[in-house]
Chains A and B, each alone.
Chain A
């Protein structure tokens, strides 16, 4: 047989993928930015902190006059379960997803910068690096049950940088950036199906920096030393996500087919938030911090893959199928806004300096869930959570090793989810009723050193 070449062109297939993965806070916002913060149930907006670049840039104005460094290792152990009324095999594609165990290294530092006078300007940084993956972006089928706030939410790096200004002894302002990255590029493929040959194959992709601004203020501490001092703090954070846009184009020569595959992932979305709180230093080394955080979850995108397939081109036009095979068709879209509600999180942290070198910590946090009742089609799992925290810090002198005292910190949280049930209103719902419960154990071990 002869093998006459065919050269026909046009656009036939245009699949579009818009993927938005886990929309949940990162590790810093979920647990706290360091071991001390974890032990206080993340109630630290009005407190000085080596991790102030994240907790509140305004608190950088309260930083030490020397370089301060904090390093910690964290381990997050989810013990969560989703019990389906109609059980599925473990390897079933729609079996409930299990959040992974995440371990990470936390780094934080503050440093005075004597540009505008001594101890007026401070800079700081806080970073979180999972030990097994740098970034995970995961988007499940809309029907698959998964824990929205714990699945892959904390399995990505988190970096904050900031600067704080001590205007006067009791007024501190700060601003910073939460750093992230985006991924862009494209893939170009062309195939000749008659010859069975790829006639074009190229790729160009790059990561680019993104950021979200953070601004904070701390007023205080005001009061009488040894009696009572109060500080008030507030921090505003803009939303942030990890964007991936990687379109791939496939041209099928001879059949009037072009397939354009647009992959857009808005992974690891964290909402706009405002946190405000107050701290009280009382007698006998007692510190109490209370705060509330409003999180604008209502603006969150769907935490799943949004895909569109557009089939068109001269070939399909000739067959009268130009718009016929597009998906999803009207009314058939399985991805919609999740309908999250804004939430207000309440936090209480207590630190008691029992002895000068020893501090004990405890905290409580009530985290309402932004996820509404799952009644049909989706199974985004989350529940109101009660966070119980414990922690301690010991300051030691090791003169033969360190010139300055070094502190060892430990923090533990149990994030206990209220049992939540889903009663489906649609008898054809693929998953059916379910009940979710469990606890996430979050542990941090670290040390701080002030040079």
Chain B
């Protein structure tokens, strides 16, 4: 009887259809389940791409990447990195570039540099495209493998303190800190000293190339000094003692304050570690200086350094403070080493290295460079970089894969 009743109920139920029975719940295509939609997750980036300053860059990107085949080269470069670089390296790169975590504190200073170049700085009048032109010339003229090699070597260079407390070069992995970090610390110490700044402003140097005893002062003298040093470093018969003597004559000996002089000496000591002929990195240093000597005949980069060292309004001190602080944290170290690995991947392929530097050089040529700087300034503060770098973490969190 019970079985019959059940069967009867089943038949009747089947005969009544599925009206009144709820279908399984299915998430909607646009339903918010706690994670942002892709369009929302990239809203700032998409908005940044529509900014007038960025749109102005598009013709240049098309010229370099499409018409000149730059995109193919970048794809090859990316493929090389995917082959040779591991997951951890890319994770460190993402973390290091994240404005919120890695180089975040440096972003305002980098913006100031861009403003200095394009003439929109509130602290220095006029545009100063010359340093960027010098970099372009270096990319254009210098042998790419050598340039990459030098960059990589300098990034991975480490130092340790000797018994006297002075920094000396150390083998990779055996150092106490990076050479770059040590230089930043030393430069910060001397650049913040008004005695040193005054000495720079009072700098005088005879320009022997003129042949008439012309004396260069201030900025021009600093540029001349830079040129002479670079040329000396590039020379096959480079004499480190002579170069140091030149610097001492031009600067150190004119600083009477012992403390300020000590700071300058300390900065020069650590910076010139790479100029020691006995140093493993010296050949790369010399090659780089030779390239710089050819590409930056007017010492534009030196002129920019002078401006930043002497113009009170330019926030050099804050820049160096932030840089030194950033350099000391693990994120920056990881970023540095990630860049070393990535440069190594490209450096191992000389032809590709050459092509990549050509592409980068074209993006910095006199046609594209102003648009590139304007575009970078336009996207600053839009949140695009943070958004892009945080995308992977965001996706992982949405998937519940993040630790």
A residues contacting B by CB (< 8 A) are 1-4, 6, 8, 141-143, 193-194, 254-256, 294, 314-315, 317-321, 323-325, 329-344, 346, 366, 368-378, 380, 383-384, 420, 425-426, 428-430
Contact = CB atoms under 8 A, between A and B. Distances in A.
A158 B309 CA distance: 87
Interface string B353-367: 011001100000000
A190 to B, nearest CB: 15
25 contacts: A8-B82, A143-B28, A256-B82, A314-B82, A319-B82, A319-B87, A319-B90, A324-B395, A331-B33, A339-B22, A344-B14, A368-B15, A370-B18, A371-B23, A372-B21, A373-B22, A375-B25, A376-B25, A383-B19, A384-B19, A426-B25, A428-B30, A428-B32, A429-B28, A429-B31
Nearest to B84: A318
Contact of B19 (A333, A337, A420): A420
A331 B27 contact: yes
Contacts of A374: 23
B82 A318 contact: yes
Contact of B24 (A294, A338, A384, A420): A338
Contacts of B254: none
Interface in B64-109: 68-70, 72-73, 75-76, 78-83, 85-87, 90-91
B142 interface: no
B3 interface: no
Name the residue in A320, A330, A337, A346 with the highest tally of chain B Cβ atoms < 10 Å from its Cβ.
A320
Interface string B3-14: 000000001011
Interface residues of B, number: 54
Name the residue in B18, B20, B90 with the highest tally of chain A Cβ atoms < 10 Å from its Cβ.
B18
Contacts of B87: 317-320
Name the residue in A1, A255, A346, A370 with the highest tally of chain B Cβ atoms < 10 Å from its Cβ.
A1
Interface of B: 11, 13-33, 68-70, 72-73, 75-76, 78-83, 85-87, 90-91, 349, 351-352, 354-355, 358-359, 392, 395-396, 398-401
A368 B76 contact: no
Nearest to A323: B401
A378 B27 contact: no
Contacts of A425: 25
What are the 3 A-B residue pairs with the smallest beta carbon separation, nearest first? A377-B26, A368-B17, A320-B87
A6 B83 CA distance: 11
B29 A341 contact: no
Nearest to B77: A6
B79 A4 contact: no
Contacts, number: 172
A72 B68 CA distance: 66
Contacts of A373: 18-23
A194 B76 contact: yes
Given A8-B83, A371-B18, 11 more contacts: A1-B73, A320-B87, A324-B392, A329-B398, A336-B24, A341-B21, A343-B17, A368-B19, A373-B23, A426-B28, A429-B31
Given A1-B69, A2-B351, A430 B23 contact: no
A386 B399 CA distance: 47
Contacts of A321: 392
A332 B33 contact: yes
Name the residue in B23, B69, B81, B359 with the highest tally of chain A Cβ atoms < 10 Å from its Cβ.
B23
Nearest to A255: B79
Given A319-B87, A368-B17, A6 B26 contact: no
Name the residue in B19, B26, B28, B90 with the highest tally of chain A Cβ atoms < 10 Å from its Cβ.
B26
A4 B352 contact: yes
Contact of A320 (B11, B80, B91, B400): B91
Contacts of B355: 1-2, 4
A4 B29 contact: no
Contacts of A8: 79, 82-83
A258 B10 CA distance: 50
Contact of B31 (A4, A333, A340, A428): A428
